[in-house]
Amino acid sequence: MSKTELTKNDYKEMLKKADKYADAYYNQDAPLVSDFEYDQLMRKIKLAEKEHPEWVTDNSITQKIGGTASSKFAKVEHDVPMLSIEDVFDKESVKEWVEAVKAVHPDAEFSVEHKIDGLSCTLRYQYVETPVLGDPDEMYQDQYRLVLAETRGNGFIGEDVTENLQIEDIPPVIIFSHNDRIGGALPHDVLGDEFQVRGEVYMSKENFERYNKAHPDKPAANPRNLAAGTLRQKDATLVRERGLSMFIFNVQKVEGASNDILTKSQINGLLALKECGFPIVNCQYGKDFEDIDTIINFIESTRDKLSYDIDGAVVKIDQKTYQEDFKGTSKYSAGHIAYKYPQSEKRARLMDVEVGIGRTGKLSFTGVVCDDETGKPLQICGTEVNRVTLNNMDYIREHHIGIGGVYGIIKSGEIIPKLTDTIYREPKAVYEVPNTCPFCGEPIENHGSVDYFCSNNDCSERKLHQFEYFCGRNQMNIDGVSVEMIRFLMENDFIEGDGPEELYFMANEYINKGHIANIWGESLEAQEGWGKTSAKKMVDAINKSRKTTFERILVAQGIPNIGHGQVKLLKKEIESVTRHAVEKTGHNEPNGFDYFKVLMNMYDCGYDFSSIEGFGPVIVTNLKNWISESLPAIFDIDSGYNETFKGLYEELEIEPFTVEENKSSNEMPFEGLTFCCTGSVIRFNNRDALYAWIEGLGGKTTSSVSKKTSYLVNNDVNSTSSKNKKAKELGIPIITEDELVKMVKKGE
């Protein structure tokens, strides 16, 4: 990439992308792109900074460490910074680094280690001398207790996850008797009064697959993300059940030791820790680049057989005092380098294309593949692969995808791998979308986009997934009612109608008659795989969901473009409109207002829903269409309207809302104001807490800056962030949290 090919604006756009990807990977445990794509972007950024060092600032991602400390756990300042290791992607870079080390220290030796794909964590142990009763020659024992486990965070401040470190191989207490030795030395001489070790928390492939089999509706993306998300769970029991593991790869600090075995040699230090009962990373000795190259190649050739994921090999100077002679940075530690393996591309033959249909009727395409050489499922990164997502018909046509074609396939961090641009053998014909729905036989339609739809609103497969969505955890949360269960009930006529209200009718039948029967008089409890216990469990889950909220039931309707965020904003608007009406008319409902009734009234009065923050023309049209089709029947406005939602509405107990008449304007100082918050939060536990406080005082919140935004809250008012720039362009005041709080105190 030459200087003429890249502008400073291009560079800034790359930084924005990288920051977004890093936040998703390190902080949200939900990667947006594969490791390979992220690494390629970072390479481009580093090349740009090498050619234009004047562009680099302290805020560049190359100068920062990936994560931030979560607000869910207490923050911990590291005694020793937990820095990253610089990645390289070709053997020549490894060779140059080794030669640079040898030029300064000709006798330098090296440790080559597995680069575990997990979450970095430091463990602090403290010495406790414990008297022992009994044999006078054994009057004491040395004990070291785990006092703190801390995640990396931003490299300088991490999270205290001590209670969550439920890892079988990591000893919470290490006990030495009077005759125990470490490398021939007394334990206290080696470990001192306190020592700290750093390692990688990971999840084995076996435990990862076990988790995904138990959670087919929401599988984890990869073992690394599942390990990170598990360690950050509030429930330590859940952490223990999922099964984490850890490898120690470094001694961070030793205080009060008279023997330097832990801090003199990288390999010998790890072996000494192994004698103490710690699981250590696989490490091998190399004296020069030829040794290192051989080891790197061997690790790569055997990585698929490992029980855990690795994405490279780390090369460290074995003599720890030599490591200090090489310059580190605020992000990268000195004396190390990490070679990342290229993606493993295999040859996949397309055997078939499976067509699926979602709740909106949109078709999805999945390729059934096999190893081109053996005809068996592919083995990639230690897992079996026989399916690959084919995105949409444009993708299929552009990549010449068809039965019998042979394509490159990689597993780049996703559950379902993806095809590369490589075509090893062209198919006889490119796959084409079917003319009719494979489930109901009705015509397939295209509405001028890349997507294709079943034209039948009553398609059984579409209905099935509408039921599935309705029952989902974030909608009605009918626990334990799976898509397979719903399919059985529909196919065997235990559910007669099309709408989700049928679930509640079925539960009513069980309550009234003690059993559930289909239209043929067959009992559900008598069906294979069912019984009284399973039927009762299903009915209990359905009945539990009857008591619900406006947000859950409206989101569960699956209105296009209207999800939790939009419903939350609509709910606030309904409450605000009602509060103003009560203040104006003096009429209040002591038992609370019905959200749907107020919404119907707003629609009848021609309310401008586009005045709601973020409600554009498409959302407004979809909302108004749903209101006009579904709500009139509830209030018997016209019996000719759709009765489906009415049937559901009457089966539910939807939580109403009340208006406090004595709520003065001084108690709602943010009424009519919209706030956007960005940057770090100081006064509140997290940004969600700040938003909740604003909303409790009558304000609205939004995630983006627009003309409708009243204030942007940012403790760094001079920040050059995109939101600050947008606010300045629009003339929107930028205030700190302190200034926001003062607005309440002044009654502004």
pTM beyond 0.95: the answer is no
CATH 3.30.470.30 domain position(s) in the chain: 87-340
Instruction: At 458, give phi and psi (nearest 5°).
Output: -100, 15
CA distance 148 to 40: 36
CA distance 704 to 369: 42
pLDDT computed for residue 133 by the predictor:
52
pLDDT computed for residue 746 by the predictor:
61
Residue 69 has pLDDT above 60, yes or no: no
Q: How confident is the model at residue 187 (pLDDT cuts 50, 70, 90)?
A: very high
pLDDT, mean of residues 626-639: 73
Q: How confident is the model at residue 4 (pLDDT cuts 50, 70, 90)?
A: very low
CA atoms within 13 A on the CB side of 15: 21
pLDDT, mean of residues 626-647: 71
Give me the chain's average pLDDT, please: 84
CA 4 → CA 1, 40, 51, 52, distances in Å?
A: 8, 20, 11, 11
pLDDT computed for residue 511 by the predictor:
85
Residue 212 has pLDDT above 80, yes or no: yes
| Structural contact between residues 198 and 189, judged by C-beta atoms closer than 8 angstroms | no
DSSP 3-state assignment of 658?
coil
Residue 552 has pLDDT above 50, yes or no: yes
Query: pLDDT (tens digit, 9 = 90+) per residue, 43-65?
Result: 788 778 777 777 777 567 766 54
Query: pLDDT (tens digit, 9 = 90+) per residue, 252-302?
Result: 999 999 999 999 999 999 999 999 999 999 999 999 999 999 999 999 989
Above pLDDT 90, what percent of the chain? 36
Dihedral of alpha carbons 33, 359, 645, 519, sign: negative
pLDDT computed for residue 579 by the predictor:
86
Question: Terminal CA-to-CA distance of the chain, rounded, Å?
Answer: 54
554-592 burial, b at 16+ Cβ within 10 Å, e below that, comes to: bbbbbbeebeeebbebbbbbbbbbbbebbeeeeebeeee
Query: pLDDT (tens digit, 9 = 90+) per residue, 75-134?
Result: 888 998 888 888 888 899 999 999 999 999 999 999 999 999 889 999 999 998 765 555
Select the CATH number that applies to the domain covering 460-545 from these four: 3.40.50.1100, 2.60.120.260, 3.40.50.620, 1.10.150.20: 1.10.150.20
Q: Between β-strands 75-77 and 310-317, what pairing exists: parallel, antiparallel or unpaired?
A: unpaired
Query: pLDDT (tens digit, 9 = 90+) per residue, 664-673?
Result: 555 678 888 8
Q: Which fold has domain 3-64?
A: Helix Hairpins (1.10.287)
Q: Which CATH architecture has domain 665-746?
A: 3-Layer(aba) Sandwich (3.40)
Query: pLDDT (tens digit, 9 = 90+) per residue, 563-597?
Result: 888 898 899 899 889 988 888 888 888 888 999 99
Q: Which CATH architecture has domain 87-340?
A: 2-Layer Sandwich (3.30)
CATH 2.40.50.140 domain position(s) in the chain: 346-454
pLDDT computed for residue 68 by the predictor:
44
CATH 1.10.287.610 domain position(s) in the chain: 3-64
CA distance 314 to 323: 14
Select the CATH number that applies to the domain covering 346-454 from these four: 1.10.620.20, 2.40.50.140, 3.10.129.10, 1.10.3720.10: 2.40.50.140
Lowest pLDDT segment from 85-89, 165-169, 743-747: 743-747
Query: pLDDT (tens digit, 9 = 90+) per residue, 386-444?
Result: 889 898 999 999 999 999 999 999 875 445 588 888 999 999 999 999 999 999 999 99
The residues with which 594 forms a beta bridge, in sequence order, are none
Q: Between β-strands 75-77 and 157-159, what pairing exists: parallel, antiparallel or unpaired?
A: antiparallel
CA distance 48 to 61: 13
